[in-house]
Structure 1
Amino acid sequence: MSALKDLYKQVVMEHYRKPRQFGDLPDATHAEGGHNPSCGDQLQLMLKMNGEVIEDARFTAKGCAISVASASLMTSMIRGKTIPEALELAEKFSLMMKTGEAAPELGESAALQGVHTLHTRVKCATLGWQTLRVLLERAAKESAEANVQPKPVK
Structure 2
Amino acid sequence: MAKYLDSNKVYRALAFIDPYGMTVNWESIQALKGLGIDFWILVPTGLGVSRLLKNDGNISEAWQRKLEKFLGLDRQYIIDYFYQRRSVSTLFGEETQINKEKDIVTKIGNLYTERLKTVFEYVSESFVMKNSTNSIMYHFMMATNNHSGLKIANDVIKPKYKL
TM value normalised by structure 1: 0.25
Give 1 or 2: higher helix fraction. Answer: 1
Could you say which structure has the larger radius of gyration?
2
TM value normalised by structure 2: 0.24
Give 1 or 2: higher strand fraction. Answer: 2
